[in-house]
Chain A
Amino acid sequence: MTAGTFDAVAIGEERGERPWRRTMRRLAKRRAALVGMTVVAFFIALSILAPIVSPYDPLATNWAMVRKPPSMLHFFGTDEIGHDILARIIWGSRASLMAGIISVSLALAIGVPIGLLTGYVGGIVDATVMRLIDAMLAIPFLILAIALAAFLGPTLTNAMIAIGVSQMPIFVRLTRGQVLSVKQEEYVEAAYAVGNSARRIVLRHILPNIIPPLLVQATLATAAAIIAEASLSFLGLGQQPPDPSWGSMLNSSKNFMSQAPWMAIWPGLAISSLVMSLNLFGDGLRDALDPRGDS
């Protein structure tokens, strides 16, 4: 029994407001998390506004301008086929953000319901499902993703599916763990005694309490998914040329590090700033949600 969960049990319709407001207040005090949030918002805006903001078509090539350094014509320089790098960074944000968001959404959409179900029901179902989850966790994440992506074929969509499926077990475990700890709380037993159906208990009592740690894990998992997409691109899986993605841009740049370092610098900066921001935001969120922390 912690202060956090007791708070959530407040009588009446107000029960959702107080912990969230406290979280927002605490989050606002953490500068690192705010910076992280701003940067992430910036990249999201960039990806949405890409058609307006991009100086060139990311697929347009120019034989005369192969591997040219940054100049007034091409602010970030050109790559090995003659594409403008700034245009590809802007448009590539879509692929990287989608790789992060969609993979994690997939992992959540599959993992959370399974975790809720198996945690609540328990018994033989729980035991079997958890062994399957343990098996998936026992296979190193990247190897699972590689095998899946190779199986499905090298495209961005398949990479997202592969990463999403590989991340799913963690969410199952997290959800189940939370469900198990909350299930034993008195207020849940009380709700059950009063005659609430299982579905009502899960949705109105259990789920709101497990959202905070899920949110934190989802943020951090998004960061990991973006790196995973870049890793899969390095191995030739994931988004394929000519469609831009930061991961495949990094992959192409590795063979031109000494001749055209700008090909590597910009996508590298883009990935690291986005991922770092997500990590900072996730850490800040975790601190803000921690019932033990300062207030």
Chain B
Amino acid sequence: MPRAYDLGMTMPRLVAATTLLLAAAFAAVEPNPATAGVLRIGLADDPDMLDPTLARTYTGRIVFAAMCDKLVDITPELDIAPQLATEWQWVDDNKGLVLKLRQGVKFQDGEPFDAAAVKFSIERHLNLQGSNRKAEISAVSAVEIVDDHTVKLVLKAPFAPLLAALSDRAGMIVSPKAAQAPGDFANHPVCAGPYKFVERIAQDRIVLDRFADYWNKDVVKFDRIVLTPIPDSTVRLANLQSGGLDMIERLAATDVETVRKDPHLKLSTITGLGYQSLSINLSNGARAKNPLGQDPRVREALELSIDRAALNEVVFNGLFQPGNQWVGPSNPFYVKSYPVPARDVAKAKQLLAAARAPNPQVTLMTTTVPETLRAAQVIQSMAAEAGFDIKIQATESGAAIQASVDGQFELYLNYWSGRTDPDGNLYNFVSCKAPPALNVARYCNPAVDEELDAARTAEDAASRLAHYAKVADHILTDRPLIYLWHPTWLFAMSAKIAGFEPYPDGLIRPQGMTMQ
């Protein structure tokens, strides 16, 4: 038998010594060092291009909230507030919008912010090839420079949602010098926001440094913001709990209790602008020819078989907001005469019997997002009690988008991230003129279009609401979509963070935030 001293005692001693040394070296290292003045935020996915004109993901907007100021902003109550523009006025029968610009503002490369820059940026949004903003402000036909700090947007026709559009990416003003420099702007963005772009490592992090000459620099306290995409919600939270991050967005609803029990963390919530809905194929190809697509009673039965409150409870711990319209019950544009209906299985069965389809077979297409799949299973189970035989078809998102455009679906559980103005949540999904990729139900009702167009040109909120009430009369009876819930934005952060105010658009505005 081999004996240890054959080898000599030197080898084991050496190994032991090295291990101890390494252990000591590592023990001295703090696994997740927090650096003073740095805010580390965990994102739910990787943003796309950092160019406000071309960008198309929701998560990108979180980066822009820190990097690019816009002409106007919203308040938590969804009113319009000044940002780069200090005052505005509708002129020419609402066919012109005059904006007075803030003075003394600089871009992050030192260039001055003025009317010429605004004209350049708006025209870039309208004309750049591949611009994703064009459809949002297509009502603008020209931008006129009145003087160095005043611009006038000339519209083809009155368009009430314009200011709301300017509170998002379409209102972000970029430095003309940087935009005209060679290379893609997305790789070296320059705007007028509180933080300037430093570097980006794809799928790893985006680093922004404080802009010393920001016009509102007194409320900007952090020196640096680092945004890290971590798609798995459990791992994202784990990073927050272990101190590797200071704040995360889109906490999973089922993790809320964990955050509430942790004395080092705190929670911040607000109802969002988006919604989740069941889109029904009404006339998009051959697959519309089934009882669900053809008979409104079957659709009503489907809606009545779903218990929105129980669905919310099981899948989202009761944290999201059940809804039945394109805006939430607490939104000023909610049509109060149509409250969220309760479950009524008996009536659902009656309706199906009257439609002579007691057991409709329906394929429910959904993406593979875990929470969506859970909700789909619950819906399947609930609708089964009324007689629906629902088969779930989980589809990878790229294929799902294509299938919905091509009409290769009967029922589609999909999500819209939401816009400030109700028009942004409605027009493109039910209008005859909507893009085919969004109005997947292919619903077309001229009476509805009339009201939608009227709501766009109406003077004040009250008359707009009256038009939307008429839209509801049609939509909530024809049911091209069955709206189910409105997600609540859930933010978890270190208890040391103060001054964070959640907005319904779910973005993180660094102004006013500090670390204690």
Chain A residues close to B by CB (< 8 Å)? 61, 63, 66, 80-82, 150, 153-154, 236-237, 240-242, 251-252, 254-259
Contacts and interface: CB of A to CB of B under 8 A. Distances in A.
A237 B258 CA distance: 29
B378 A61 contact: yes
B367 to A, nearest CB: 8
A242 B394 contact: no
B258 A241 contact: no
A255 B254 contact: yes
A259 B370 contact: no
A256 B315 CA distance: 13
B257 interface: yes
B232 interface: yes
A247 to B, nearest CB: 13
A172 B258 CA distance: 51
Interface in B386-406: 392-396, 398-399
Contacts of A150: 396, 398-399
A61 B254 CA distance: 18
Contacts of A258: 258
Interface residues of B, number: 27
B234 A255 contact: yes
B380 interface: yes
Interface string B119-138: 00000000000000000000
A277 B394 CA distance: 32
17 contacts: A61-B378, A81-B377, A81-B381, A150-B396, A153-B396, A154-B368, A154-B395, A236-B396, A240-B373, A240-B392, A241-B392, A254-B232, A255-B252, A255-B254, A255-B370, A259-B254, A259-B255
* For the complex of A and B, 4 pairs with smallest distance between CB atoms: A236-B368, A240-B394, A255-B234, A242-B377
Interface centre among B378, B380, B381 (most CB of A within 10 A): B381
B77 to A, nearest CB: 34
B314 interface: yes
Interface string B254-269: 1101100000000000
Contact of A237 (B234, B373, B381, B396): B396
B315 to A, nearest CB: 8
B197 to A, nearest CB: 32
B310 interface: yes
Contacts of A241: 373-374, 376-377, 392, 394
A252 B257 contact: no
B228 interface: no
A252 B392 CA distance: 17
Contact of B314 (A82, A237, A256, A259): A82
Contacts of B393: 240
B233 A255 contact: yes
Contacts of A242: 377, 380, 392
Given A240-B373, A241-B377, A242-B380, A259 B257 contact: yes
Contacts of B370: 251-252, 255
Interface centre among A80, A252, A256 (most CB of B within 10 A): A80
Given A63-B310, A153-B399, 8 more contacts: A81-B377, A150-B399, A154-B395, A240-B392, A254-B234, A255-B232, A255-B370, A259-B255
B234 A66 contact: no
Contacts of A153: 395-396, 399
Contacts of A81: 314, 374, 377-378, 381
A80 B252 CA distance: 13
Contacts of B234: 254-255, 257
B254 A256 contact: yes
A154 to B, nearest CB: 6
A242 B381 CA distance: 10
Given A242-B377, A255-B234, A80 B394 contact: no
A292 B232 CA distance: 50
